Structure 1
Amino acid sequence: MRYDYLIAGAGIIGLSIARELIRREPQARIAIIEKESDVAKHASGRNSGVLHAGFYYTADSLKARFTRDGNRAMKKYCEQNGLFINPCGKLVVASDESELQGLEELKRRAARNGVRLEWLSEEEAARIEPNVRTYRKALYSPDTASVDPVEVCQCLKRELVSSGVDFFFNTKYTGRSHQTIRTNKPVFTCGYFINAAGLFADRIARDFGFGLQYTIIPFKGIYMKYAKNKSDVTTNIYPVPNLNNPFLGVHFTKTVDGSIKIGPTAIPAFWRENYKGFHRFNLGEFIQILYYEAKLFLTNSFHFRQLAFEEMKKYDKANFIGLSLRMVKAMDRNGFGDFLQPGIRAQLLNKKTLELVQDFVVEGDAGSIHVLNAVSPAFTCSFPFAEYVAELIGEKRSAVKSSLASKPEEDLVCQVT
């Protein structure tokens, strides 16, 4: 089982990196290992499907850099492959005077990031979405759209298989020794290892000496479908977010088929795959995560205490629905169905500062690279982000080759030996 590149994780990031590598090196032998039975079984297949435009993020961030370009690249990919797109746009609305400053900041960020974002009066907003409620004005993003994330990932899988990439499903990373990767099935050797394992990326990275200052704190995101009809809302409607944390608040999402759902929550979870009940309960994870969540609660870092209380209240359907109804003029409270399947956000925490990491984090060397914080809008960013990772891999491997070439002959022999 010898490969030039071995990728752990068959979510959107692992798939996109494989696609970029095979594009650059058509003869490379590439394999993807995935502990589940198919692609996109976790965050990549459980997200909203919204293609964000790129105005939430500061101009110096990787997210700002990749969201705008990723929005265009993903739309192009869907169009070329006959995949569905709902070009529904997005309204960001204010509830009172205090939130107008938040709208102003989003508009400034959009301008710096080169993203289209338009000011609308209440009357203009109502022409786009007759049911929307906002205070004085709103922002409109015409480039926001929705796709089916599972459909996209399945299309990528078919493309990769046709390009010669090997998939090993139900194959879980268990450890490594140099460039030998152990799994619950085969043992692999590889020229380069790429960790895109989402919820378990930090754990794998530590085996290679990376990500030592970080740990994953999982947050559960739950949506609820509006079952009455598809017409009461025609565009995405978002509140002004708290820009001090990475969560966007409960909002209305128009899915690719025109359905309406509200969410998500950002409820602190107690183990990495804490989707429902005690499914996949892990005592070790529970103890470690509870330890860090207790520290966050006691120190109240980034107002975690208030966040935890507010998010836990969202398990109450009446409260959850009430948060969404603030953004619309009229909607049937009884028209909502049950909670949809939850997703888990693999949110990175800096263990020293006790702050949530807002941007993507990638660490690596000449033998491996580790994607440590591929959280929303990672799906939107996936194609340009994969180009970025491929460039990093090339730079790190070239740097070592250059270093070896510059060594005296006797040192070089020693190094090779």
Structure 2
Amino acid sequence: MTVPRVFDRVIVGAGIIGLSIARSLKKNAPHLRILVLEKEPDVGAHSSGRNSGVLHAGFYYTADSLKARFTVEGNRQMKAYCQERGIPVNACGKLVVAMDVDELLQLHELDARGRRNGSTVRLISEEEAKALEPGVGTFREALYSPDTASLEPRAVLDSLKKDLLSSGVEMLFSTAYKGRQGQVVITSQGDFEGKKIINCAGLYADKVAQDFGFGDKYTMIPFKGLYLKYKKNRDDVRMNIYPVPDLRNPFLGVHYTKAVDGTIKIGPTAIPAFWRENYTFRERFRPGEFLEIALREAQLFATNAFGFRDLAFEEMRKYSRRYFIGLARKMVPVDPEGFGDFTRPGIRAQLLDKTTLELVQDFVIESDAASVHVLNAVSPAFTCAFPFSDFVCRKYGLL
């Protein structure tokens, strides 16, 4: 029998959180032997590499959350990292616009949350909003966030990969997690022992955690995010334009994203998916996952837990280009004929609490002396990645 290679830390998953935890470990404990395992041929193949690229500013989240704690500082640190590495950032800002009195009240709640969280936000008049974004429509006021920005996620991920390899972190690609025996991680490319194992497996983080006896109260409900490119005139929208979200759910609604290169896209959807990597009709179809997730979604549909039935009907309507575009045009009436193709879809690794049938709103970390499991690392995880990873390493004894 082959003796497993031994490392101080074995990280499962090379998305933004796995890479950032490896970075934090190497920065604060350079003597550690670190291995990052990734089932895909390269870093960030799923949620991290397929997200919108928006650097959030920290005003959506309640003050008691990890999201609120790390978004403002994460925004600052990510911008600083990009500046150091020569990675472009579009510091275009963001407007959140209201459509009616009820949404105006929610807009004021976002302003209050932002102030509590240390985010630079400001309520502005409709006239001030139009000075920033001439085509925008809002009801009386808008919320202005000057610190919201955009970047290319792949540029950050590739830079982190380069940094880690040059610092001595070992990375193995096309190496899928298969299970564990004690502190030995069993993979498709052999076995590796970790004195401490860190689960950053994204869409499969719940399954890996359950192998270690954690996360039993949670299950993954995947949601598919589609974006549509606007190709007519990149000057038609100057900045990120968002609607007021339903604060009962963690989705931010169809919005305009101003990319780092100045191009424009609308999205995302939050369409319930039927397996974890359900990007297209048959891609990576797994019958067991399909059955498990379809049964869970049928339960949510029947009970309308957290408004799932209403959400599902609304999201399915967004498969209609006309309807999808119409939602965005309520905020800025761009040319409806100016849209091109859909971008690569992404899947949100959203946790459901099985005991309450509610979506989990915050990041979740479970651990013991031998392993740490990062669950529900959904938006704004990319923005939070650096300070959040430092926190995980310090608080959970990884250094």
Corresponding position of 1:367: 370
- Is it true that 1:139 corresponds to 2:143 in the alignment? yes
Aligned residues: 395
Match of 1:219 in 2: 223
What is the letter of the counterpart of residue 338 of structure 1?
A: D
Structure-1 residue corresponding to 2:134: 130
Alpha-carbon offset, residue 213 of structure 1 = 0.3
Mapped partners of 1:104, 1:66: distance in 2: 22
Opposite residue 364 of structure 1, the aligned amino acid is S
Distance 2:335 2:10 in 1: 50
- The alpha carbon displacement at 1:190 in A equals 1.1
Q: TM-score, normalised by structure 2?
A: 0.98
Query: How far off its partner does 1:125 sit?
Result: 0.4
TM-score norm. by structure 1 comes to: 0.94
Q: After the TM superposition, which residues 228-307 of structure 1 pair with which residues of structure 2 at under 5 Å, given as runs?
A: 228-307=232-311
Q: Which amino acid aligns with 2:355?
A: K
Equivalent residue runs for 1:91-106 within 5 Å:
91-106=95-110
What is the CA RMSD across the aligned residues, in angstroms? 0.8
The separation in 1 between residues aligned to 2:293 and 2:133, in whole angstroms, is 42
Alignment correspondent of 1:346? 349
1:57-88 deviation line (CA, Å, top 9, x unaligned): 00000000010110000000000111000001
Distance in 2 (CA, whole Å) between partners of 1:200 and 1:99 is 36
Q: Aligned partners of 1:136 and 1:28: how far apart in 2?
A: 55
Partner residue in 1 for 2:169: 165
Matched with 2:339 is 336
Partner Cα distance (2:156, 2:95) in 1? 25
Pairwise CA distance, 1:131: 1.1
Structure 2: gaps spanning 5 or more residues: none
Counterpart-to-counterpart distance in 2, 1:338 and 1:82: 29
Separation in 2 of the partners of 1:258 and 1:88?
Answer: 9
Q: Structure 1: how far apart are the matches of 2:176 and 2:396? A: 23
Paired letter, 2:388 = F
Give how far 1:111 is off.
1.2
Give, in whole Å, the separation in 1 of the partners of 2:342 and 2:87.
26
Larger Rg: 1
Equivalent residue number for residue 389 of structure 2 = 386
1:73-109 Cα offsets, whole Å, 9 max, x none, are: 0000000111000001000000112211110100110
1:291 CA drift (Å): 1.1
- CA drift at 1:392: 2.4
Runs (4+) of structure 1 exceeding 3 A deviation are none
2:347 is the counterpart of 1:325: no
For residue 71 of structure 1, what is the aligned residue in structure 2?
A: 75
CA distance in 2, matches of 1:325, 1:387: 40
Give the Cα separation in 1 of the matches to 2:371 and 2:346.
Answer: 28
Matching residue of 2:33: 29
Q: Which residues of 2 match residues 5-84 of structure 1 at below 5 A? A: 5-84=9-88
Counterpart pick for 1:177 among 175, 181, 199? 181
Give the SS at the match of 1:125: helix
Pairwise CA distance, 1:393: 2.5
Deviation readout 1:14-66 (Å, 9 max, x if unpaired):
00000000111111100100000000110000000000000000000000001
